[in-house]
Amino acid sequence: MTDPARRAALETLAAVRERGAYANLVLPGLLRQARLTGRDAAFATELTYGACRAQGLLDAVIEDASGRSVDEIDGPVLDALRLGVYQLLRTRVGAHAAVDETVEAVKASSGRGAGGFANAVLRKVSKADEDAWVAKLAPSAADDLVGHLAMQYAHPRWIADAFWESLRANGIRSMGQLQALLAEDDARPPVHLVARPGEISADELALIVGGETGRLSPYAVYLPGGDPGALEPVRDGLAGVQDEGSQLIARALTIAPVEGEDGGRWLDLCAGPGGKAALLGSLASIEGARVDAVEPAEHRAELVRTITKGLPVEVHVTDGRSSGLEPGYDRVLVDAPCSGLGALRRRPEARWRKQPADIADLTVLQRELLTAAAGLTRPGGVVLYATCSPHVAETIGVVADQRLLTDAGLEPIDTRPLVPATDLPLGDGPHVQLWPHLHGTDAMFFQAFRKL
């Protein structure tokens, strides 16, 4: 491709397809390598993340326009077609430019014959807009509204079903709410920064970066755009990149009422890659507490060490289910490994990699970690269970397991007061389920318990 922004996007799509790379890790390096900044970098980012996020919809259109399964199309040609179709359906790029740039890229990688094939496919796609393609390919809204919305907003059907089940389990039964959730999850998310307590306030950070203070977390700042890694407060360790919902979880652990005196022994049982551990460490430094952070993978443990450097945080490379740590903690966070369905908008390719079968093994692990956390907590102490997934099996299904709670000696406490006062809906409790379309956060779930 002659356009360096499109070329960076295409190379990123190839890395995602060929080696299972993460777009948000590959693209920044390519942008630096090509010295792309400003509008060019923004264009490359939009093309890359947009094409990854909409992959299922793009593939359905490509299959219909080509008469072939995407499995029968050579990888480099498929990458280029996804990029071209995305431009045609979801950007203001002129059809002529989108088609010509894509065809030339296919010719260069795969020959003139493949270029002719790509040209024919794209010309056919360009004859209709996205709404027309969705009307043609999606299930009828009258017969299967969830299936229709899943294709319209580029989600696998099973994930749309999981969102709908979770909404209903949390007392939200309007199909309009599902549509709003899927639409928000299909959009590029804003960047949330966290102001490190004791180092800088949210007001100060917002003034420096030209952002806006958050609606829920007292440490949150919404960044209007640009590369957060290039900001001086982030480079200097005064701030970090962290979803506002994630900030609320760490804060909730530190303010949940414990019985008796807080002895300052706090534990993050699932610490990698370290965002919540860093916020806990900053708050612990103010309160005179210390944090033990557990992470079984050495490379992720090193990330925790890096982000918590200078804070009262000690990292332990061990399995949280059998950590060997001395019991008696006042506060324990179980930010359990999960499907990540609540953070799909920040991981554009993830929704097409996950499978329903992933959930069963995760729920076993989540119960084991919650049980281990209870064993490490002193009587009267607090355990806070959290996931970045709204899936019912990973959330309500775990925290409402009465046999588990009885065996672990845990009593649920109303978690809603642990969120700063807000007019935004927090449900009937005792847990908190956040939503992108209602709260502007990832779909975080958390429930606090007291150890009996």
Instruction: Determine the pLDDT at residue 265.
Output: 98
Question: pLDDT band for position 225 (50/70/90)?
Answer: confident
- pTM for the complete prediction? 0.95
User: Any idea what DSSP says for residue 393?
Assistant: G
322 CB neighbour count, 10 Å cutoff: 9
Q: Judging by DSSP bridges, how do beta strands 239-241 and 191-195 pair with one another? A: antiparallel
How does pLDDT run across 85-120, given as a tens digit for each residue? 999 999 999 999 999 999 999 999 999 999 999 999
Question: pLDDT band for position 2 (50/70/90)?
Answer: confident
Q: What is the DSSP string of 74-98?
A: -HHHHHHHHHHHHHHHHS---HHHH
Instruction: Determine the pLDDT at residue 304.
Output: 98
As a whole number, mean pLDDT of residues 236-242 equals 96
How does pLDDT run across 69-81, given as a tens digit for each residue? 999 999 999 999 9
CA distance 239 to 266: 22
Which run of H or of E encompasses 377? strand 377-387
- Say if residue 230's pLDDT is above 90: no
Question: Domain 4-128 has what CATH class?
Answer: mainly alpha
Return the domain boundaries, the chain: 4-128, 244-451
Q: What is the DSSP string of 302-342?
A: HHHHHHTTTSSEEEE-S-GGG--PPS-EEEEEEE-----GG
As a whole number, mean pLDDT of residues 406-422 equals 97
CA distance 86 to 79: 11
**Cβ within 8 Å of residue 72, ≥6 positions away:** none
Question: In this structure, what token pair is assigned to residue 126?
Answer: 């360009």
Instruction: Determine the pLDDT at residue 179.
Output: 98
- Say if residue 302's pLDDT is above 90: yes
Which CATH superfamily hosts domain 244-451?
A: Vaccinia Virus protein VP39 (3.40.50.150)
CA distance 46 to 270: 32
CA distance 238 to 426: 30
Catalytic residues: 388
Question: Which of 148-152, 224-228, 351-355 bottoms out in mean pLDDT, i.e. has the lowest?
Answer: 224-228
How does pLDDT run across 9-51, given as a tens digit for each residue? 999 999 999 999 999 999 999 999 999 988 999 999 999 999 9
Can you tell me which residue has the tokens 């004859």? 127
Residues in the annotated binding site = 270-276, 295, 319, 335
Residues in the annotated binding site for S-adenosyl-L-methionine = 270-276, 295, 319, 335
21 CB neighbour count, 10 Å cutoff: 16
Instruction: Determine the pLDDT at residue 226.
Output: 79
- Say if residue 332's pLDDT is above 80: yes
